Structure 1
Amino acid sequence: MIKDLLLQSPKIYTTSSGLIHINHTIIHSIFKINYTLHLSEIAEPIVVNVDQIAFVSHNTKGFVTLFLANSYEISINTDFEKIEEVVKAAKDRRNIEIL
């Protein structure tokens, strides 16, 4: 039962206030110069303000990565097209969910 709920919960969703919620299960890594957050420390969704996203690209390991204005890099294990759709929706202040 709980496993079914986890499988159905959105991996990424946006809010009308421009926030992007990223489920910890699809995050590959969070990196900042001289600091790496260990994934075992992440238990809740990561919330990113769309206005803090400098650009979206692939990192050197090939993962889709959000490069933030505060020099954090959030690498996500998902398709580039899905992340583009999420960022556009957040900028337009629309609510969407990606499973």
Structure 2
Amino acid sequence: MSKFCPYCGEELIDNAKFCKSCGKSLEDFKSSPGTQNIQYPPSAVENDHTFATVLGYIFAILIPLFGIIISVYLLTRNDSQKAARHGKYILILSIFIWIISFLLIR
């Protein structure tokens, strides 16, 4: 059974002392009486920005400038680590495609 952070709802690994998402100490929470066996479901579904991610990859290949714009959008999303990771990949792909296209035009 999965455990979740009581502060932000992020799924935790076994024996975690700190939440990997919000960084809050779980030791204080575990030491409180009556809270040892409580399981917390995520408070909200993480917004993974799937539509923007898919558009970002498509634009990174077809129109790198738009890929860069979407990657910056994804990189600035504080509500999803997954979106930020894809934003970084899209940015790298967009710049790579843009450089290759300039080299092929010359």
More strand as a share of residues: 1
TM-score grouping bracket, smaller chain normalisation: under 0.3
- TM-score (norm. length: structure 2): 0.26
- TM-score (norm. length: structure 1): 0.27
More helix as a share of residues: 2
Whichever of the two has the greater Rg, that structure is: 2
Larger RCO (alpha carbons 8 Å, 6+ apart) = 1
